Chains A and B, each alone.
Chain A
């Protein structure tokens, strides 16, 4: 099963995306596809371009060349091949189709848990206050925080804040959810509650592209794992294949060996 031949069925289609910050090439001709309902995990050493790639998918970062399509629509630029940025209005509308959860939660500090979720629903989706409130309560229930609807972010633990972050993203009913090292800023004992939420979303068929350092979670929850190194995709495959200790990919072997040495 080759990704190239099935490209048309991919919900997210990243083709030859390159990006440089000055002289530093952070992405080198990256291609990857995510099909509807798939959970694809990106792993790799820090500085390998994982987060930048994720941020290009909803155009929080621009890219120099290549194409990113969601559901067949070019994301940041008007046409594949041209470098003409979409209007800010268009970009906002495109971004509403992707959900993103951040490493540092990034909740709006002046809004309650419910308020954080309702902002996008009312301002972007045009729902009424009461509809939005209902949806917010539903999603807070899904992440186990129904009782925290009226709490401010500062009154919540890191794990709870991140679960609100997830609820805020999925409440918009995005086509794809982008998860950027969402447990990296959490105390170890809080990681489990957040991953449990992600797992249940995956079981519901949510399409996800996630960057993580949680290898056990990546192994259990992913349809495929992408290993990035030096800004490029070094290996792609099912978890068993990628995380096998005897892989022939030397970079991957080194990464996994280092990872095991530091985590076990």
Chain B
């Protein structure tokens, strides 16, 4: 065909991609960290709460899971500031959105893990005189973590890829960087090949690291 691959222009602007990747990772790490806190707190609350709290948490989870992330991003970035008097940057807005979004997915992961902890282990914790808080901290959470690690890894990878949605509100992460290079150089095939490779390598690296952690925990079964 007539199209000759030429990566020179990509390398010239590679800082856009590299900086973008770092920002993607930063967005993912912060959002996942906040999401873990949301997920853990709500999951623990859920399994020990009454019907009203459960229904409320379930509603949050269902809402988030049934609305496309891109819509949530628009709502928070364009919609929210017009309703309430708030001003925040695009990256902040996205982190806020992805945190709440990842929280909903992580509630589900943690909740099912907590419910899968065998009752006998909780009985054993009671029998040696641990308080409810100690049982949660030293018996239920460690076991829950080992049960949920595989699902957790998948969720983390997913959320990392979801950071590409931040490009729609001009957060200069990896996908945005790719778009910028495309618009300015018209090397669409090259730039998206390189970008895809960067997502792929990073995703695999994350997966590899998480699998190592999993293996360490599986040994402790």
* Contact status B142-A110, CB under 8 Å: yes
Assess the B139–A108 pair: CB atoms within 8 A: yes
Interface pair A92/B220, CB less than 8 Å apart: no
Q: Does B127 contact A (CB under 8 A)?
A: yes
Looking at B59-67, B117-125, B181-189, the stretch in contact with chain A turns out to be B117-125
Do residues A172 and B123 form an inter-chain contact, with CB atoms below 8 A? no
Would you list which residues of chain B between 52 and 72 have a CB under 8 Å from chain A?
none
A96-B129 CB under 8 A given contacts A102-B124, A109-B221: yes
Given A109-B146, A110-B143, A110-B146, A169 and B221 contact (CB-CB distance below 8 Å)? no
Q: Which of A86-122 contact B (CB under 8 A)?
A: 88-89, 91-100, 102, 104-110, 119-120
B24 CB to closest chain A CB (Å) equals 33
Residue of B nearest to A152 (CB): B220
A92 and B221 in contact (CB under 8 A), knowing A102-B120, A104-B120, A106-B124?
no
CA distance A123 to B219 in the complex (A): 25
Interface size range of chain B in the complex: 20 to 34
CB-CB under 8 A from B50, the residues of chain A are none
**A222 interface residue per 8 A CB criterion:** no
**Which residues in A have their C-beta under 8 angstroms from that of B129?**
92-97, 120, 124, 172
Determine whether the beta carbon of A98 is less than 8 Å from that of B130: no
Is A60 an interface residue, CB under 8 A from the partner?
Answer: yes
Question: Given that A108-B121, A110-B146, A154-B221 are contacting pairs, would A60 and B128 also be in contact in the complex, using a CB cutoff of 8 Å?
Answer: no
- Tell me the A residues contacting B by CB distance below 8 Å: 58, 60, 88-89, 91-100, 102, 104-110, 119-120, 123-124, 152, 154, 168-169, 172
Question: Contact residues of B with A, CB < 8 Å?
Answer: 118, 120-121, 123-132, 134, 138-139, 142-143, 146, 217, 219-221
Q: A100-B124, A108-B143 are in contact. List 5 more A-B contacts (CB 8 A).
A: A98-B127, A99-B127, A100-B123, A106-B118, A169-B128
